[in-house]
Amino acid sequence: MRTLAGFLAALLLGSAAPQDAQPSRPNILILLADDLGYADVGFHGCKDIPTPNLDAIAAGGVRCSNGYVSGPYCSPTRAGLLTGRYQQRFGHEFNPAGGGQGLPLSETTLADRLKAAGYATGLVGKWHLGSQAPFHPQKRGFDEFFGFLGGARTYLPGKPGLLRGTEAVEEKEYLTDAFAREAVSFIDRRKEKPFLLYLAFNAVHTPMDATDERLKRFEAIENKQRRTYAAMLSAMDDAVGKVMEKIRSAGLEEKTLVFFFSDNGGPTMQGTTINGSRNDPLRGSKRQTLEGGIRVPFVASWKGRLPAGKVFGLPVIQLDLHATALAAAGVEAKPEWKLDGVNLLPYLEGRQEGAPHDALYWRFGAQMAIRKGGWKLVKVESGPAALHKVDEDMGESADLSVPGADKVKELQSLWDAWNAQLAKPLWGGGRSNP
Could you give the residue ranges of the DSSP H alpha helices within 191-278?
212-217, 224-249
Assess contact for 51 and 58: CB atoms under 8 A. Answer: no
Q: Is 205 a catalytic residue?
A: no
- C-alpha pair distances (Å), 51 with each of 38, 47, 64, 132: 13, 10, 17, 36
Instruction: Say if residue 99 is exposed, middle or buried (CB neighbours under 10 Å; 0-12, 13-18, 19+).
Output: exposed
Q: Is 64 a catalytic residue?
A: no
- Which one from 46, 64, 92, 128 is the annotated catalytic residue? 128
The DSSP code for 413 is H
The residues near 357 (Cβ < 8 Å, ≥ 6 apart) are: 315, 316, 317, 342
d(CA 275, CA 49): 14
DSSP 27-77: EEEEEEESS--TT-SGGGT-SSS--HHHHHHHHTSEEETTEE-SSSSHHHH
Of 318, 418, 300, 425, the residue nearest 85 (C-alpha):
318
d(CA 248, CA 332): 29
- Which one from 44, 46, 64, 74 is the annotated catalytic residue? 74
Q: Which amino acids are annotated catalytic?
A: 74, 128
